[in-house]
Amino acid sequence: MNSPEGSTIIRVEHLIKSFDENVVLNDFNVSLEKGKNLVILGRSGSGKSVLLKCIMGLEKPDSGKVEVFGKNIPELNQKNLDAIRKKIGFLFQGSALYDSMTVKENLEFPMRQEINKNSRNEIDERIKKALKSVGLPGTENMMPTELSGGMKKRIGLARAIIRNPEIILYDEPTAGLDPVTGKEISHLIVEIQNQYNTSAIIITHDISCAKIAANKIVVLENGICKKEGTYDEMLKSDDKAVKQFFE
């Protein structure tokens, strides 16, 4: 069953995560409400990817809460963690498509455990729908090497939505793209939010992406949530940590 409108579906509280002496997240707090896009702005190395990994249960926090759908991720056993991961789509930093597989095989990959249970036709239909949603219908048989950077991102997006996730985590969705293509991808993120009623965390340092896609923005600096607000509120902020992104 999907979460009710307006409910908090990700709640990170007092999250501390370090690697040896390097304290990356140092009492970080953030929440994501159902149906919203939350943008996390942070400089390179600020801990954005580490945060997403804590949410996915790929990194274990030193302390603090990482609740997804009301369940504290670090406390879950593998079975319950897998059940939550099924409801989360992930767009990896740099798309991470398998070069030796066709577009179709790349999209089938997250569904590999379901393929026996579902009919072939249903899988094909899902792939077709996802490719249409990202504006690349009919590209099933192409190889990743034949795709431009922007097209790869779109296929990465199609793979993130293929299982109708409730949550999508985007790690740098516009990195490495020219500004025009970056804007197209940002608009696509909003279209996906509307079409699939997803809630998303978007990690970026692209202010144009934040402007287009964010319902709420937080700035991550020195391991904490430095500031939180809408795009317009952030634009007016005098905080140095915030201003650096808007100049």
Ligand X SMILES: Nc1ncnc2c1ncn2[C@@H]1O[C@H](COP(=O)(O)OP(=O)(O)OP(=O)(O)O)[C@@H](O)[C@H]1O
- Residues interacting with ligand X, by CB under 6 A? 19, 22, 24, 42, 44-50, 93
Q: Which is nearer to ligand X, 19 or 98 (CB)?
A: 19
Distance CA 191, CA 121 (A): 26
Compute the least distance from the CB of residue 49 to ligand X, in Å.
3
Q: Which of 46, 49, 106, 199 binds Mg ion (CB under 5 A)?
A: 49
Angle 222-223-224 (CA atoms, 0-180°, nearest 5)?
95
Of 48 and 152, the one with the shorter C-beta distance to ligand X is 48
Measured from the CB of residue 46, what is the shortest distance to Mg ion in angstroms? 9
Q: Which two tokens stand for residue 117?
A: 């249970």
Q: Is 46 in the site for Mg ion (CB under 5 A)?
A: no
Which of the listed partners (Mg ion, ligand X, none) does 22 bind, with a CB threshold of 5 to 8 Å by partner kind? Answer: ligand X
Q: Please spell the DSSP secondary structure of 179-246, one letter per residue.
A: HHHHHHHHHHHHHHHHHHT-EEEEEES-HHHHHHH-SEEEEEETTEEEEEE-HHHHHH---HHHHHHH
Does position 204 bind Mg ion by CB under 5 A? no
**174 is an interface residue for Mg ion by CB under 5 A:** no
Closer to Mg ion by Cβ: residue 15 or 107: 15
For residue 199, the partner it binds in Mg ion, ligand X, none, with Cβ less than 5 to 8 A by kind, is none
Burial of 142 (0-12, 13-18, 19+ CB in 10 A): middle
Examine residue 95 and tell whether it contacts Mg ion (CB under 5 A). no
Q: Which is nearer to Mg ion, 49 or 95 (CB)?
A: 49
Going by C-alpha positions, the residue among 215, 148, 216 that lies closest to residue 185 is: 148
Best CA proximity match to 42, nearest among 204, 244, 173, 236: 204
Q: Among all chains, which residue has been given the structure tokens 């804007």? A: 183
Q: Does 37 bind Mg ion (CB under 5 A)?
A: no
Whether 206 contacts 246, CB under 8 Å: no
Stretch in the footprint of Mg ion (CB under 5 A) among 29-37, 41-49, 58-66, 79-87 = 41-49
Interface ranges with Mg ion (CB under 5 A): 49
